[in-house]
Amino acid sequence: MPGGQGGMVMKFGQGWARISGRGWQICWVVLVLVGVFLGSGEAAIARGEYAPPLSFSNAELSGRDFSGQWLRGSELSNANLTGANFSDAHIEGAAMSGSTLTDTNLSGAYLTNTLMDSIKFERTDLTNAVLLEALLLGSTFENVTINGADFTDALLDGYQVKQLCAIAAGRNPNTDVDTRESLGCRD
């Protein structure tokens, strides 16, 4: 390494560069700004803007409160969600296949593109839930509340549609879609 007077000497590629006084200060400012920029991603996660996918597969989550949380892309398959509260939660693109949703609150939840096949919905509150393009094949619905739920382009079996049309009412306040229309109910 070449010698010389004062400052810091650093190797860049094939050559050497001397950073002294003002140049060193600029390097520190750049490093601090890079740190702040990279740290802003962590702050965004803390604010709920970029929630990392969570895995609760096969978990015991009875009675847990997930209300208002960002759970996009989360893995909740085969989980016991009895009595869990997901009101106003963002669960878009999650996998909930085979889970138990008895006495579960999904009111106002965003469930777009969620895999919800082979679920037993029993006394589940789906009031004002948004289930756009959700996969619900093979799921059963017993004593559910679906007032204002939006099932637009959701994949449902024919018997599910008939069952849900018998109790469908209301209009979703977020999408302004009538529940019966979203299910394709015939009057």
Residues of the chain under the 50 pLDDT cut: 1, 9-12, 24, 28-46, 51
Q: Which long-range contacts (CB under 8 A, 24 or more apart) does 4-11 make?
A: none
pLDDT of residue 5: 54
Written as six digits, the tokens of 155 are 């994949």
pLDDT of residue 40: 41
SS3 172: coil
pLDDT of residue 10: 47
pTM over 0.75: no
Task: Give dist(CA 177, CA 144) in Å, integer.
Answer: 19
Are 78 and 95 in contact by the 8 Å Cβ rule? The answer is: no
Task: Give dist(CA 32, CA 108) in Å, integer.
Answer: 41
Average pLDDT, the chain: 82
Written as six digits, the tokens of 123 are 């006394």
List the beta bridge partners of residue 17.
Answer: 10
pLDDT of residue 32: 43
SS3 180: helix
pLDDT in tens, 130-157: 999 999 999 999 999 999 999 999 999 9
pLDDT of residue 14: 55
Query: If one looks up domain 51-187 in CATH, what number appears?
Result: 2.160.20.80
SS3 62: coil
